[in-house]
Each structure stands twice: as structure tokens, then as C-alpha cells.
A = this chain, B = another copy of it.
Amino acid sequence: MNFSSDNVTGAHPKIVAALAEAAAAGPMPAYGADPLTEALTKRLCEVFEREVAVYPVATGTAANALALSALTPPWGGVLAGAEAHVEVDECGAVEAMTGARIMAVPAPDGKLTPAALAARIAPLRKGDQHQVQPAVVSITQASECGTVYAPAEIAAIAAFCRTESLHLHMDGARFANAVASLGCTPAEVTWKAGVEALSFGATKNGALAAEAVIFFDPASAENFLFRRKRAGHLFSKMRFLSAQLLAYLDDDLWLKNAAHANEAARHLALGLIDLPGVDLDHPVDGNELFVRLPLAIADRLLRAGYHFYPWGAPPADPASEAGLYRFVTAFDTDLASIDALLAAALPPAAENT
């Protein structure tokens, strides 16, 4: 079984079926003028309980970089967690598309706080022509540490943003996992809490390749069409992005998939933590676990064919007998396979006697 990431998965059969149906539906206008894209926007307005502007793209990196390009001038700063995907894993895409600078902020458990943001910008001089000017905060929901912001935590950040004239963006590559975990509405954890733009992810949670940039104030997105096209992210056969996203939303598939992945993660976490010497680095709110494992356990699992990543810097002490590892569950994780993993983690019976 493969716990290395949620992007090693295939796709959910319902989404594949929707693609196939769209493929056989005959001619449709290109570039987003098709009925599926229109339906998608309507559907997302319902999901978010307000008028929204929707721009489907194929990758999360594109969604983030393009969304942020609408929220910062080239001389702006993007405040993001030190482990944020935009900082660590996108090869400078945000800088390339915005011109702006990412300003990494310490984020214990992967979550920014008003205090941490305030400390980061304190030494900067607002309006001073010599300095990059903080322009937007980007939070990741669920975070890169597998935790989830409560609506009140986001609202507190949004209040800080208003005070400091900063925009607020949410990288929702695992947005479904967060919503499923919180049990709140999508609106409560986004615009009602002060989020202005959302990278709404589907790829990791059952789609083949589909994300949407969502602006909660459509007026703020007036030039976004040009930004997307100019970056090569406008699909000619847009129906194929929209079909994925419609199937993803249909009958709450997105939340069901995420709830399943979250449940699998919780199950795995509870099982692992029962083992001697095992510890969690962060709360397990979504579908990611960061686990300190005795090397003997890690070794047994790897030899048994389980896939998962060692995480962060290797232990400073080479004699250390434990390491940090990341496990990620997904919409298609077999719960039974987790029990098998937990069994495989145990020392062989012979050693027990």
C-alpha cells in the first residue's frame, strides 16, 4: 500500500465516468463557453452560498500562483508559512507569476497566526520605496502539517489582514479534507471568515487534474481571464476540467472522499501511536500524519512494501533510534490495509517471546 502522497492515486470512478460522458457529448464551445463550465460556476455559487467567480485550471501550483498574481503587485510580499507549498514546493512559480517575494513566516503545526505575521512584518517599513511591501497572506487549508484552521483562527488572521491592508488567500489543495474535518460549511471557513480567493483543489482528492481559482468578490477578478491565458493555463476543451469538478461536487463526492481519507488517517494515527516509541509531530486533523517512528518499525514497514517518506532533516544524532516520517491517506485508501500495516509494524512473534 502506498502512503507516500495523495497524488500517487488514480481517480475516482465517478469522475472518470463524467469525463467519458463529456468526451462523447459532441461539439461544445471551447475556452470555457461550454454548458459544463457554466453549470460549474452555478454549482460553486450554491456550494459557497454566494456569487463567486470561478476559473478552472489543471494544477495546484497554477491555481496558487495565478490567484496570488491578482492579489499582489510585483513589489509586494506574500506572507506564507515556512513550510507552505508556495515556498517549498513550487520552484518559484509564485515569484514567476507575480514578481512578488514570498516572505516565510514560522508556522508551528503549519498554521499562521496574527502574532507570527505581526512579528514578520514588524521590521518592515510600510510605504518605504526601498522595501518589498507586504501585500497578501496565503494560508493552507488543510495545512502542510496535516492540521486544519478553525473558522475563528482564519477570522483572526483576516482581521489582522484588514488592519494591515493585506489580502487573504487560501491554498485549498486539501480544502475538502479541512471542510470534512471541521464539519462546517465551505462558506464558514472561507469568505465568511474573510478569505478573498481560494485555490480549490480536487486533484489530490479523486480528480485526474482539476483545480479552480475562486474569487469571492467577482469584481476583484476582472482581469483574471488574461492572467490565466497568458500563463498557458486556459484549456481549449474546458469541458474536461469542468466535468471533473462537477462530478467532484455532485452528491458531495468531494466531502465523502475527504471524510474517508481523514478517517483512514485517524485510524492509522491511533494505531501507530499505540506502538511503543511512536509519537505524532502534529495533530492529525486531515489526511496527513507526521510520525516519529523507531527505526526498527520504519524498517519493518519498508521491507513489508509500504511506501511513505522520511520527512525533514535526518536525525542530528546518527545514533538516534527514531526518525520522522510522513504518511498520507487518500480517497481510495483501503481501511483494511491500515490494519495490515499496523500488524506489520509489530515485531515478529518470535522476537516477542
Give the B-binding residues of A (Cβ under 8 A): 1-2, 4-5, 7-13, 15-16, 19-20, 22-31, 57-66, 73-75, 88-93, 95-97, 99-102, 122-123, 129-133, 203-204, 208-209, 223, 225-237, 239-241, 307, 312-313
CB pairs A–B below 8 angstroms (19 shown): A5-B30, A7-B31, A10-B27, A16-B24, A57-B232, A58-B209, A59-B232, A59-B236, A61-B229, A61-B234, A66-B232, A73-B226, A74-B96, A75-B91, A89-B131, A93-B229, A93-B232, A209-B236, A209-B237
Query: A92 near B230 (CB under 8 angstroms)?
Result: yes
> What B residues does A73 contact at CB under 8 A?
223, 226
Count the copies.
Answer: 4
Query: A92 near B99 (CB under 8 angstroms)?
Result: yes
Closest-CB distance, A30 to chain B (whole angstroms): 4
- Contact flag A10-B23 (CB < 8 Å), given A129-B229, A132-B91, A230-B96: yes
Query: B13 near A23 (CB under 8 angstroms)?
Result: yes
> What B residues does A129 contact at CB under 8 A?
31, 91, 225-226, 228-229, 234
Q: Known pairs A11-B23, A19-B208, A209-B237. 11 more at Cβ < 8 A?
A: A2-B26, A8-B28, A9-B237, A27-B307, A92-B230, A93-B229, A101-B102, A123-B313, A204-B236, A208-B237, A231-B232
Query: A236 near B23 (CB under 8 angstroms)?
Result: no
**Distance in angstroms between the alpha carbons of A237 and B210 in the assembled complex:** 10
Closest-CB distance, A66 to chain B (whole angstroms): 7
- Contact flag A232-B229 (CB < 8 Å), given A27-B8, A92-B101: no
A-B interface, 10 closest residue pairs, ranked by CB to CB distance from nearest:
A62-B232, A2-B27, A7-B236, A11-B23, A129-B225, A75-B226, A61-B232, A8-B27, A91-B229, A10-B23
Query: A312 near B123 (CB under 8 angstroms)?
Result: yes
Query: B2 near A130 (CB under 8 angstroms)?
Result: no
> What B residues does A74 contact at CB under 8 A?
92, 96, 230
